[in-house]
């Protein structure tokens, strides 16, 4: 898909990867970019950045974990900008810890990192299917293909996001619906920096040198152009994923070595071995 003349919604677009995608899509000539975020002031700021640069953007305050908010964002986008060509379900949060993390943390991250994608697909698919075309992009993570040492809720919900993207691609691909799943490792955003400050297991994410959000936006534009399912701004993730599929037990042993190093380490995490 080319972005020119498209109506695009990006959630979590007040900061980080979402902001970089929204700005880049506008530069690519999108007809309108809907900047949706729970941080309404932040969404308005990014909208102003886009319009000042000559693009067209609309800010919508939206908590993606609340289905009515997602429905409202879609309605506003379609009323003010026209049918949505591309919906980027990108907002996400990080929660560290293991199975002992409190239920309220598990429930919160499940809502934001998984159910938000379900709500988005529910809201836009009927129109896209009726038109016989549409594009869904879900931001998961390399942690959704591999795992994230020290962060069970994050790893599990990102695996679920990858599974949902796969399911949507399989189920609706022949009806004209394109799906891409964005799976970066570390990206220099508030999320990564907050995880590092808390030292809470952003290990797979932090294993590779962190990219800038603008680099990720560039990979997304290229991946959308190629209509590729898996968009990997860190290409080495494909090799880790291949090694995992090739010999799961060997991969688990390598991840346990990584976990042991991290548990005993005072310094930075190292690249996982497969
Ligand atoms: N930064 C990384 O290293 C990294 C790596 C892999 C995947 N990701 C994923 O990329 C996506 C974007 O993360 P980021 O690094 O840009 O984070 P970020 O914290 O910089 O930005 C996330 C944005 O999402 C918004 N948001 C959070 N909860 C929301 C909600 N309930 N409703 C609407 N908006 C909400 C925040 O207000 C913020 O503007 C996430 O899904 C994250 O899991 C990030």
- DSSP-assigned letters across all residues of 161-181: HHHHHHHHHHHHGGGTEEEEE
Active site residue 119: no
- Ligand 1 centroid–CA 132 distance in Å is 30
Q: Which helix (H) or strand (E) holds 248?
A: helix 248-264
Q: Are 93 and 112 in contact (CB under 8 A)?
A: yes
| Tens digits of residue pLDDT in 165-223 | 999 999 999 999 999 999 999 999 999 887 665 544 454 555 668 999 999 999 999 99
| Tens digits of residue pLDDT in 25-61 | 999 999 999 999 999 999 999 999 999 999 999 999 9
Assigned token pair, 239: 């090799």
| Tens digits of residue pLDDT in 64-123 | 999 999 999 999 999 999 999 999 999 999 998 999 999 999 999 999 999 999 999 999
Assigned token pair, 41: 């002031």
Q: How far out from the chain centre does Cα 189 lie?
A: 13
Q: Are 182 and 139 in contact (CB under 8 A)?
A: yes
Q: What is the pTM of this model?
A: 0.94
Q: Which residues, judged by CB distance below 6 Å to any ligand atom, belong to the binding site of ligand 1?
A: 11-12, 14-18, 37-39, 42, 62-65, 90-93, 112, 139, 141, 184, 186-187, 189-192, 205
């Amino acid at each position: 898909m080319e972005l020119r003349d498209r109506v695009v919604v990006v959630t979590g677009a007040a900061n980080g990867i979402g902001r970089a995608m929204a700005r880049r899509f506008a530069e690519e000539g999108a007809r309108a970019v809907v900047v949706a975020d729970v941080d309404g002031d932040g969404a308005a700021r990014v909208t102003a950045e886009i319009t000042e640069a000559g693009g067209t953007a609309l800010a919508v305050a939206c908590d993606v974990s609340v289905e009515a908010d997602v429905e409202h964002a879609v309605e506003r986008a379609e009323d003010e900008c026209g049918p949505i060509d591309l919906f980027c379900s990108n907002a996400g949060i990080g929660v560290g810890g293991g199975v002992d993390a409190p239920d309220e943390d598990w429930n919160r991250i499940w809502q934001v990192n998984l159910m938000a994608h379900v709500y988005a697909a529910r809201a836009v698919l009927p129109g896209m299917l009726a038109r016989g075309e549409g594009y869904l992009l879900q931001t998961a993570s390399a942690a959704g293909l591999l795992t994230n040492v020290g962060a069970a809720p994050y790893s599990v919900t990102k695996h679920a996001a990858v599974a949902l993207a796969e399911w949507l691609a399989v189920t609706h691909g022949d009806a004209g619906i394109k799906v891409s799943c964005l799976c970066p490792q570390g990206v220099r955003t508030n999320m990564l920096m907050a995880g590092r400050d808390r030292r809470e297991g952003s290990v797979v994410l932090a294993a590779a040198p962190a990219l800038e959000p603008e680099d990720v936006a560039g990979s997304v534009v290229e991946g959308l152009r190629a209509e590729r399912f898996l968009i990997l701004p860190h290409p080495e993730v494909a090799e880790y994923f291949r090694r995992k599929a090739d010999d799961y037990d060997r991969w688990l042993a390598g991840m346990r070595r990584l976990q042991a190093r991290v548990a005993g380490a005072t310094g930075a995490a190292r690249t996982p071995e497969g």
